[in-house]
Structure 1
Amino acid sequence: MHKKAKVLLCSMGTSFMLGGCSGMINSNNYQKNEQTKDTQAAPSEETRISVQDYTGEGYALPYGRVTDEIADKNLAQIVEAATSFFKEKYKTDVTVHNVVGAKDGATVFVESKGEPHFYTYAVVPIDEVAKKVWTERIWADEFQVENAIKGGLYSMIFKEEFNQLDDYFDSLAAEGQITGKTYEAIQNVGGKGFSTPYYFISMRSKEAAIQPVYDLFMRNPDESAENLRKAFEDNSFSAENLFINIQLFMADPNAKPDNKLFDRIIKDLEEMTSIPRGSYSFVLNDNFIDKQSSSGMGDNSLDLTNDIIKD
């Protein structure tokens, strides 16, 4: 049922406590921090794959070989625990896409069903000696999950603006020069909140405008998008607290990141007035992604120095 892509969650810009994460997605440096850790081999030509072919295959969490085998043998139990956990604690039905062994536990990657749409993860502790899976102790980093839900809510209540942004990237991709990550990669190396092939949303904890929306959703998960939008406090919004992190790839495996295309996209984003508010970071990579870190960043990547601010 679940494709066992080996996933390096450290590539999400987070740190691990128990096969899970303790860091916060709270800055536009998030995607710039997608670096391999000391426990991983350095990127090489052998670990690079065309982004169009990348599904998350080839990833492993540090010290997860034994727990991965234990998780495989208890997969149904873990999936049941994860779906129950998110339904009970976060009022959300989820699909489990991937379960990956890590130090002292297994990380469970999930995607919400319907809206608000987001990706996140939970952690199930595992006793390697007793070969026991402690599903009753399943947990998740609250900031990470809340951040993911808030990003999904933000895209939900500003759907028209996000449709404009999505249409722009789709039109760029249709020209044949750029592409994004596959949906399989997003699902299997997920946990980044609201994500598309071209960008993902992250925000600081002090972003206040979305908090009443989140509170209303938690009180009533069936609340209409219209009422959720009314709860958004426009006067409290700060673009410097909400990040739309864009990462594009050249579609041609033989192409290097193109400076003219890079400048054109920046100009387009600066001139667009109907896209969502926030701070836009932007990286244009070549066609390849590193299987060990889920990062497309390389020596030739073009990286926007200062965010594009949309207030």
Structure 2
Amino acid sequence: MKKILIVLLGSLLILGGCFQMNEKTEEEKEQEGTTPVQDYVGQGFSFVDGDKSAERVKKHEEEIKQEAINYMKTTYKTDVKVNNVVPARNAAVVMVECEEPIQFHTSVIVSLVLNKDDVGSARSDEGEVEKAIVGGLYAKAYKEEFEHLDAFAEKIAKEYDLLGMREEAIDKTASVGYAEKYYFIAIAASYYPNVYNAYIENPAIPVDELRNLFLKDDPSNEKMAIAMNFFAKEESLPKKELVNNLASEILQESRLPKGTYETTVYKNLIVNRVGLPDGESIDAKDIIK
């Protein structure tokens, strides 16, 4: 009798697990899963306890968007557009993009007032918007060099049969600052106080002045990092030799923006809920140009 009871309990537990799996929504499945980088456009992107505030965020979405836009304009003298509003714990994370006078992606956190059906104030994580601004200013100061980097990155991606992030994914999930398909600028704004302060005083600061200020804050360009990120077309990683060859081509290429280049090749999959690569990667030695 005990054996029969144990078997029955085991069967019920298995069935219970199946019922729970069947009850999961498509959104929950997306959040738990992965997607090939070529198909990832932000599906399932989420934050902790976002499900608990999703209804309120949806109800107040327009107010939340405007709060984020106002925050960027008031605090950083910068106009942005909203690409995504993502529910979070007692808040919404608003993914925003600046297109003029500089380009960058960042995020703003808009709180929800506890025990009230109302939207609170906006804020940003320390240093996040500042680094996005400085990255955008560097791309503006060296526009031709970055245009050459775009073309060069596209060329070597095709040469080695590699992929990059889709624009839709960057818009909906990225808050790293200046980001393109195959790279982003990875810096701390605290390294460039003269550059940042000059922008806050005058967002229309001329390119020549920007270049002088970057040289003043970082004469050898050693603090400027450009992360080159590529993805394999398959789930398996390419050989280390391929990544080293990529790094060698970057080293030999002229007319690229100055800085330290960090070259990485990831597997093909993106983790939906965080919008970041899944699994292992191969890194090349950093290159200073």
Name which of 170, 178, 188 aligns with 2:172. 188
**4+ runs deviating over 6 angstroms:** none
Given the superposition, is the C-alpha separation of residues 263 and 297 from structure 1 closer, same or farther in structure 2, using an over 3 Å criterion?
farther
The whole-number CA distance in structure 2 between the counterparts of 1:294 and 1:67 is 20
Show structure 1 runs of 5+ residues with no match: 1-43
Match of 1:282 in 2: 263
The whole-number CA distance in structure 2 between the counterparts of 1:254 and 1:68 is 33
Name which of 81, 89, 107 aligns with 2:93. 107
CA displacement, residues 100-130 of structure 1 (integer Å, 9 cap, x when unaligned): 1111211111000223100111111113532
Match of 1:146 in 2: 130
Given the superposition, is the C-alpha separation of residues 292 and 79 from structure 1 closer, same or farther in structure 2, using an over 3 Å criterion?
closer
Name which of 245, 262, 266 aligns with 2:243. 262
Letter of the 1:302 partner, please give it: I
Match of 1:204 in 2: 188
Whether the 8 Å CA contact 2:101–2:203 is kept in 1: the answer is: no
Whether 1:214 and 2:196 are equivalent positions in the alignment is: yes
Given the superposition, is the C-alpha separation of residues 254 and 83 from structure 1 closer, same or farther in structure 2, using an over 3 Å criterion?
closer
Whether the 8 Å CA contact 2:102–2:137 is kept in 1: the answer is: yes
| More divergent stretch after superposition (112-121 vs 210-219) | 210-219
Counterpart secondary structure, 2:276: coil
| More divergent stretch after superposition (167-176 vs 143-152) | 167-176
Given the superposition, is the C-alpha separation of residues 115 and 70 from structure 1 closer, same or farther in structure 2, using an over 3 Å criterion?
same
| More divergent stretch after superposition (153-162 vs 220-229) | 220-229
The whole-number CA distance in structure 1 between the counterparts of 2:125 and 2:34 is 30
1:213: how far off? 2.4
1:58: how far off? 0.8
1:255: how far off? 5.8
Match of 2:37 in 1: 51
1:87: how far off? 1.3
Whether the 8 Å CA contact 2:40–2:270 is kept in 1: the answer is: yes
Richer in helix (by share): 2
Whether 1:158 and 2:169 are equivalent positions in the alignment is: no
Given the superposition, is the C-alpha separation of residues 85 and 205 from structure 1 closer, same or farther in structure 2, using an over 3 Å criterion?
closer
Whether the 8 Å CA contact 2:78–2:98 is kept in 1: the answer is: yes
The whole-number CA distance in structure 2 between the counterparts of 1:141 and 1:101 is 16
The whole-number CA distance in structure 2 between the counterparts of 1:150 and 1:254 is 35
Match of 1:168 in 2: 152
Identity across matched positions, percent: 32
Letter of the 2:208 partner, please give it: E
TM-score by length of 1: 0.77
1:254: how far off? 6.2
Whether the 8 Å CA contact 1:206–1:241 is kept in 2: the answer is: no
Counterpart secondary structure, 1:200: strand
The whole-number CA distance in structure 1 between the counterparts of 2:68 and 2:235 is 42
The whole-number CA distance in structure 2 between the counterparts of 1:280 and 1:85 is 33
Name which of 79, 84, 87 aligns with 1:98. 84
Name which of 222, 227, 245 aligns with 2:209. 227
| More divergent stretch after superposition (121-130 vs 65-74) | 121-130
Given the superposition, is the C-alpha separation of residues 285 and 65 from structure 1 closer, same or farther in structure 2, using an over 3 Å criterion?
same
The whole-number CA distance in structure 2 between the counterparts of 1:72 and 1:206 is 36
1:293: how far off? 2.9
| More divergent stretch after superposition (231-240 vs 281-290) | 231-240
TM-score by length of 2: 0.82
The whole-number CA distance in structure 2 between the counterparts of 1:149 and 1:178 is 29
CA displacement, residues 7-57 of structure 1 (integer Å, 9 cap, x when unaligned): xxxxxxxxxxxxxxxxxxxxxxxxxxxxxxxxxxxxx9x722110110111
Letter of the 2:130 partner, please give it: E
Counterpart secondary structure, 1:232: helix
| Structure of greater Rg | 2
Given the superposition, is the C-alpha separation of residues 256 and 141 from structure 1 closer, same or farther in structure 2, using an over 3 Å criterion?
closer
Show structure 2 runs of 5+ residues with no match: 1-29
Aligned residue pair count:
259
Match of 2:288 in 1: 309
